[in-house]
Structure 1
Amino acid sequence: MAAANDELDHPELEPNKSKKWIFLAPIIILAVIAGGYFGVDWWLYSLSHVSTDDARVKGTLITVSSRVTGRLIEVEVEEGQPIKRGDVIARVQQGDFQARVALREAALEAAQSQLSSALLELDLERVVTEGQIERSEAVLGASQSQLDEAQKAAGLERQRARADLREKEAAVQEAKARMQSAKVNQDMASSDLKRANQLFEDGIIAAEQRDQSVATYDQAVARFQTAQEVLNKSHALLARAEAESRRVQLLRTNVRTRQRRVKESAALKNLAVAEQQRVRMKEEVAKTLEAKVKQAQAELALARMELDETVIVSPIDGVVSQVISDPGEHVRPGQAIAMVNDPQDVWVQANIEETHIGKVEIGQRVELDVDAYSQRKYEGKVIQIGAATRSEFAIIPAGSASAHFIKVTQRLPVKIAVDNSDGLLKPGMMVVVGIRIKE
């Protein structure tokens, strides 16, 4: 009753509510229509696309570092500065490295000088040794030839002397036999003569018979004297032949002398051949010095390389992203000086949920909305699908040993190529991607 009385007391409330609904109804209808339109549009888009806002622009950021230890005396670039391949980024103090180069150059010159001296000695030793070998071979050949001739002459002379001696000995024996025969005849003739003289004195024989005995005796005496002279000559010829046989001994002595000379020549040749060992030793010394020269050359090249490394240059054409070190700092190998990147070498990395990754394939077209350029549309193409989820590379990977388990949908990285010819896309920019899974 009280409520009824209130409505009766305030009749103006009903018209106000009607007016409010008149204004709200169109708005609600438009909201429902818009929500339905965008909902349908989103639903249709989700059927033909895999989308995510977990994506950003990536690029190859190259850390330019020092390869030597030293004090940084100059940094010649600033952040955001365009740079060409080979342009100087920074310089390290060069004094110590220049001194090392000078030291290595001196060491190389010393090694080369030692090698040159060793090669000259080696060449000289080779010439001397080869000359000694040739000379000793020539002397040995001549000595051997003279020995052969002496042996041949001694052999012939020995044969001739033996034959002559035998002949002379035979002649002496024959002369002795003749002299003995003549002596016998002489004695017989002497006896006959004495008997004839006695018979003649006794008147038994005539003077003619005695004279015949005298003649026979004289002939026997003459034959004996002749036989004796022949024996004397034979003895003289035998003595001469014996003297000639002593000449053979001289020839034998000459042969022994030639044999000693041959042995001496052979020893000289062996000594000359042994000298080749010194040549081989000098060759080994030369090889060692050649190795030292190569080592000195390598050390010099390394010192020059280190000197060149004191000038730090850009490895690519690009832009200086960040300057990390300042002049005056003491840098070490591997210490970062600056970071550079190529503005054209960028791509988009989208992290797609594992529940949708099965719809993504290489080569699919991609629609890209970059937060920094909301009015501009970019297009790309899927070029790589990750082989593992992002969580696998975390410090504490998902699924580590634990008493509790919470299932979390994982994401896999997808690499998307994009044209950045105008250089507007910068590494780190946030992107919304829509991968067309159906055309």
Structure 2
Amino acid sequence: MTSTPDAPQAPGTPASKPKSGKAKRILGIVALLLLAVIGYEGFRWFTHGRFHQETDDAYLQADLVMLQARDTGYIAEILVAPNAPVAKGQVIARIDPQDYQLALENAANTLASAESATRQLEAQITAGRAGIQQAEAALTATQATNDGAQKAYRRARELKTTSVGTQASLDSAEASAKSAAAQVESAKAALAQAEAQLAVLNAEADSAKLQVRAARTGLRQAQRDLDFTQIRAPFAGILTERQIEVGSYVAPGSRIGTLVPVENLYVGANFKETQIAGIRPGGSVQIRVDAWPDELLHGTVESLTAGTGQVFSLLPSSNATGNFTKVVQRVPVRIRIDDQDRSRLPLRPGMSVVVEVDTRTGEDRPLMPAPAANPARAEPGAAATSALDSGAPGMRG
């Protein structure tokens, strides 16, 4: 008796039911997990996400300064290595100071000469005042002599009239009177000359004082030029991109290097215009630097730029010509990093960061204050419209 092999079971038979039930259980679990994820994300958005605005179009920035020479000469010494930190007022390099030292010495000599000339004129003025006093005394003496001579002349003339005096006595008295009068005029002229000389000396003294002031200004200028041979850091930071070496020739405006104030770094974040409605100065910010993604920094919104980045670009586009394609603009926002967080990491300008602003924080005022009402500029129909809206008597239909 020959046995025949079992025929294959047709699809849909009871043997396939266990597999179908297992697939349903897996799909159910996946659906539950999906609903849990959606619920969690929805809850997180409702409690957190809708109050936070995030952007990855943000970078560390600093108000760096390009140091330039202010004197002409050859670099004699460099005291700071490339990419080295410097303190405020620290000398970075020195220009050969010999020419400026000679100029300072010459300015000092010029000042000494001007001061000597001033002292000489002051002495001459003192002598001139004494000369005036002497001339005044001489005038007083000649006036007294003239008074005596005039009295003697009148007496001699009276005696000659009464035939008591002689003609010779009258002539002698007349000559003495005329001589005394001439001496008075000479004394007056000497006094006027002494006063004129004193006026000239005073004018020369004023001019000498101006020369002293000019010499002092030149001395200060020479000292300032000598001080500029020492190139100093205007603030603390890191000197980078150094452009000089010992022996380099520099002139006013020659580039020395770039000083980066790493202690005053801030974040420049570019938010979409649809995100800035709730961003206000003083808002709390969380910052993550791409170089240290596990480090969370904190900051505060300082200000919003008064315009989008496109407005301040070198060649702003004009949408008034040709076809128009609307592009979402971005508004730069300046964010200050907290001091304790800024000093924790070796942050450098240009690093990419991701910022998240909590719109529930910040100053309690709108982004742009509403303009004050000006009744004088109200439209003519404004009063009638207000009356209609308020339902004033006689204004309803």
Q: Is TM more than 0.5 here?
A: yes
Preserved contact between residue 391 and residue 397 of structure 1 (Cα < 8 Å): yes
Give, as a single letter, the amino acid of the residue that structure 1 aligns with 2:98: Q
CA RMSD of aligned residues (A): 3.5
Q: Which residue does 1:395 correspond to in 2? A: 314
Alignment deviations for residues 358-399 of structure 1 (CA, whole Å, 9 cap, x no partner)? 211222222223322222322322221221111111111133
Preserved contact between residue 162 and residue 245 of structure 1 (Cα < 8 Å): no
Query: SS state of the match for residue 344, structure 1?
Result: helix
Alpha-carbon distance in structure 2 between the residues aligned to 1:8 and 1:299: 114
Query: SS state of the match for residue 310, structure 2?
Result: helix
Compared CA separation, residues 138 and 310, structure 1 to 2 (3 A): closer
Preserved contact between residue 111 and residue 289 of structure 1 (Cα < 8 Å): no
Give, as a single letter, the amino acid of the residue that structure 2 aligns with 1:323: E
Alignment deviations for residues 34-92 of structure 1 (CA, whole Å, 9 cap, x no partner)? 65146425632432112222122223323333222333344433444333223332333
Query: SS state of the match for residue 282, structure 2?
Result: coil
Give, as a single letter, the amino acid of the residue that structure 2 aligns with 1:429: M
Alpha-carbon distance in structure 2 between the residues aligned to 1:27 and 1:311: 76
Q: Which residue does 1:40 correspond to in 2? A: 42
Alpha-carbon distance in structure 1 between the residues aligned to 2:350 and 2:161: 123
Q: Which residue does 2:213 correspond to in 1? A: 294
Please tell me whether residue 266 in structure 1 is matched to residue 198 in structure 2. no
Q: Which residue does 1:25 correspond to in 2? A: 27
Q: Which residue does 1:143 correspond to in 2? A: 142
Give, as a single letter, the amino acid of the residue that structure 2 aligns with 1:262: V
Please tell me whether residue 303 in structure 1 is matched to residue 225 in structure 2. no
Query: SS state of the match for residue 274, structure 2?
Result: coil
Alpha-carbon distance in structure 2 between the residues aligned to 1:301 and 1:131: 37
> How do 1:167-316 residues align onto structure 2 when only pairs under 5 Å count?
241=164, 244=166, 246-280=168-202, 283-284=203-204, 286-316=205-235
Q: Which residue does 2:74 correspond to in 1? A: 71
Q: Which residue does 1:357 correspond to in 2? A: 276
Compared CA separation, residues 156 and 274, structure 1 to 2 (3 A): same
Compared CA separation, residues 414 and 117, structure 1 to 2 (3 A): closer
Q: CA deviation at 1:277?
A: 4.4
Q: Which residue does 1:231 correspond to in 2? A: none
Preserved contact between residue 70 and residue 251 of structure 2 (Cα < 8 Å): yes
Alpha-carbon distance in structure 2 between the residues aligned to 1:159 and 1:355: 122
Alpha-carbon distance in structure 2 between the residues aligned to 1:393 and 1:100: 44
Q: CA deviation at 1:98?
A: 1.9
Alpha-carbon distance in structure 1 between the residues aligned to 2:72 and 2:40: 63
Q: CA deviation at 1:111?
A: 4.7
Q: CA deviation at 1:317?
A: 2.7
Q: CA deviation at 1:293?
A: 3.6
Q: Percent identity?
A: 28
Q: TM-score, normalised by structure 2?
A: 0.74
- Structure 2: tracts of 5 or more residues without a match: 1-7, 362-397
Query: SS state of the match for residue 378, structure 1?
Result: strand
Q: CA deviation at 1:400?
A: 5.8
Please tell me whether residue 374 in structure 1 is matched to residue 293 in structure 2. yes
Give, as a single letter, the amino acid of the residue that structure 2 aligns with 1:247: S
1:438 to 360, 374, 378: 360
Query: SS state of the match for residue 32, structure 1?
Result: helix
Alpha-carbon distance in structure 1 between the residues aligned to 2:117 and 2:298: 73
> How do 1:77-96 residues align onto structure 2 when only pairs under 5 Å count?
77-92=80-95, 94=96
Please tell me whether residue 158 in structure 1 is matched to residue 161 in structure 2. no
Q: Specify which structure has the bigger relative contact order, considering alpha-carbon pairs within 8 angstroms and separated by 6 or more residues.
A: 1
Query: SS state of the match for residue 91, structure 1?
Result: strand
Alpha-carbon distance in structure 1 between the residues aligned to 2:35 and 2:69: 64
Alignment deviations for residues 331-354 of structure 1 (CA, whole Å, 9 cap, x no partner)? 333333233334332222221211
Alpha-carbon distance in structure 2 between the residues aligned to 1:78 and 1:395: 36
Give, as a single letter, the amino acid of the residue that structure 2 aligns with 1:130: R
Give, as a single letter, the amino acid of the residue that structure 2 aligns with 1:57: L
Q: After the TM superposition, which of the residue ranges 114-123 and 385-394 deviates more from structure 2?
A: 114-123
The size of the alignment, in residue pairs, is 348
Q: Which residue does 2:267 correspond to in 1? A: 348
Preserved contact between residue 346 and residue 420 of structure 1 (Cα < 8 Å): no
Q: TM-score, normalised by structure 1?
A: 0.67
Query: SS state of the match for residue 393, structure 1?
Result: coil
- Structure 1: tracts of 5 or more residues without a match: 1-5, 166-240
